[in-house]
Chain A
Amino acid sequence: EDKVVQSPLSLVVHEGDTVTLNCSYEVTNFRSLLWYKQEKKAPTFLFMLTSSGIEKKSGRLSSILDKKELFSILNITATQTGDSAIYLCAVGSYSGGSNYKLTFGKGTLLTVNP
């Protein structure tokens, strides 16, 4: 059975701190690893990684994938209160040819205090 494990499950920091969120996985027919931010209801897309060792960056957020060790990290530098959210890691995999689905971890609840 496909498995995605995120750590820590929750984290409280002060504005300006740097945080690192972890995601490890065991998935058959791995295709991609995605990070989503969930503030209220709808998860919103942050990054998709398919190749090992290539860092993706968007402003203060960055992510990297290690396909050999089966994990990814999401870094947020100079955190702001608006970064408070649940961060979801999901692994995309194919089955039966072209059937693609995401398997999610439980998420990391990040709280940034002013």
Chain B
Amino acid sequence: EAEVAQSPRYKITEKSQAVAFWCDPISGHATLYWYRQILGQGPELLVQFQDESVVDDSQLPKDRFSAERLKGVDSTLKIQPAELGDSAMYLCASKAGGSPLHFGNGTRLTVT
């Protein structure tokens, strides 16, 4: 079964440093999502893309977070500068049309 690929799997960074996460959705999936999941909580939507366009980024802290999907395929989420409170699992998911949401394994970020 095709999977959503994410890298790196784990990332440790110091506060005030920049960090980036990469996601490659399932081929043909036009809709791509970035979620943040803090331990003990549910996934929180950060940004949603339809092809290369942002559909919803209302919950993205735009002073430090940015996301792009330049060619409408893979996507990058960046944090600059990272803060201690950004420690969380960052999940990427994708879907096509009426198909269900498919998640990647996530990137676990620890900010020290």
Do A and B associate with each other? no
Residues of B within 8 A of A (CB): none
Residues of A within 8 A of B (CB): none
